[in-house]
């Protein structure tokens, strides 16, 4: 079906440097996983030629489709010109102002997956069913001490519960990408651990993971240009010594939150 649509509109596969999900069974499973009920507003990012869009429209009263490429926007406008339930936003997902939505269902542009994910966390929504590069998905759910455990893991755990629903092979796309993909379920929820200053915590995690192979003592000091901690060496000397001897990748999110909180408290005491 994807080839037929591209041929109909005179677009060669790969011409737009995009990979369109073509496997009908996976498309159906993605929509089923979203458990859409009438009345919910669904956001789709990177709507492409509308294969997922078409299915979403069968289940809800409102689909908001964001697409950057003007050629694909033209296809969407033509394919769904009679469809009143579809709102097409032509623009960059990282720059456009998003309207309210209940769920987000999308095959994301892999090159900006992290930026999109954290933009979504700034909005209130019930559920996300998102396609990521498989290696990226593994980083979302990684355990402390593993190679995939990262700033992305910790910051994501602050906002949501995440699970991989299925691995998607390269052959499910046209044209096939170089990597496998994964469908990920994201369930936003309140933070599972206490954070005094969420902005500082997120910045703290980002900073120390730029020095992930260093011991925490040195990681904090060497990344302080990102944190702006006053009297940083004195502050670090008062943090738990056993933790300061570990690397950032060895601490779980709750432990990192506790360190962040202690730094904030000591800065307030100065």
pLDDT of 4: 74
What stretches in the chain show pLDDT beneath 70? 6, 11-17, 270
pLDDT digits (tens, 9 = 90+) for 233-270: 999 999 999 999 999 999 999 999 999 999 999 998 86
**Which of 145, 143, 129 has its CA nearest to residue 212?**
145
Answer for the pair 213, 248: CB distance below 8 angstroms, yes or no.
no
For residue 12, what pLDDT is reported? 62
Q: Looking at residue 152, what is its pLDDT? A: 96
| CA 270/CA 262 separation, integer angstroms | 13
Q: What is the pLDDT at residue 179?
A: 94
What was the pLDDT predicted at 5?
74
Q: Are 262 and 239 in contact (CB under 8 A)?
A: yes
Q: How many C-beta atoms surround the C-beta of residue 147 within 10 A?
A: 9
The DSSP result for 184-208, as a single string, is: EEEEE---SS--S-HHHHHHHHHHH
Per-residue pLDDT at 63: 98
Distance CA 250, CA 166 (A): 28
Separation between Cα atoms, residue 39 and residue 46, nearest integer Å: 22
d(CA 24, CA 141): 27
Task: Walk me through the domains of the chain, giving residue ranges and CATH numbers.
Answer: 2-188 (3.40.50.150), 198-269 (1.10.8)
């Amino acid at each position: 079906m994807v080839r037929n649509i591209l041929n109909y509109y005179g677009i060669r596969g790969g011409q737009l440097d995009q990979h369109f999900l073509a496997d009908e069974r996976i498309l159906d499973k993605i929509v089923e996983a979203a458990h859409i009920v009438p009345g919910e507003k669904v956001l789709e990012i990177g709507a492409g030629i509308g294969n997922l869009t078409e299915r979403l429209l069968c289940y809800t009263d409102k689909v908001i489709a964001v697409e950057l490429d003007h050629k694909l926007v033209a296809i969407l406008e033509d394919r769904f010109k009679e469809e009143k339930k579809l709102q097409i936003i032509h623009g960059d997902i990282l720059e456009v102002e998003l309207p309210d939505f209940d769920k987000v269902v999308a095959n994301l542009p892999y090159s900006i997956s992290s930026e999109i994910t954290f933009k979504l966390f700034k909005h209130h929504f019930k559920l996300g069913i998102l396609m990521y590069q498989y290696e990226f998905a593994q980083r979302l759910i990684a355990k402390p001490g593993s190679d995939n455990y990262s700033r992305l893991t910790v910051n994501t755990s602050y906002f949501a519960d995440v699970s991989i629903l299925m691995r998607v092979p390269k052959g499910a796309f046209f044209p096939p990408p170089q990597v496998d993909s994964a469908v990920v379920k994201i369930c936003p929820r309140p933070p599972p651990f206490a954070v005094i200053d969420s902005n500082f915590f997120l910045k703290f995690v980002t900073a120390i993971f730029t020095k992930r192979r260093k011991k925490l003592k040195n990681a904090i000091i060497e990344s302080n240009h990102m944190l702006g901690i006053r009297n940083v060496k004195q502050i670090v000397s008062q943090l738990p010594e056993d933790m300061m001897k570990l690397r950032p990748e060895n601490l779980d999110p709750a432990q990192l939150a506790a360190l962040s909180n202690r730094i904030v408290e000591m800065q307030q005491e100065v």
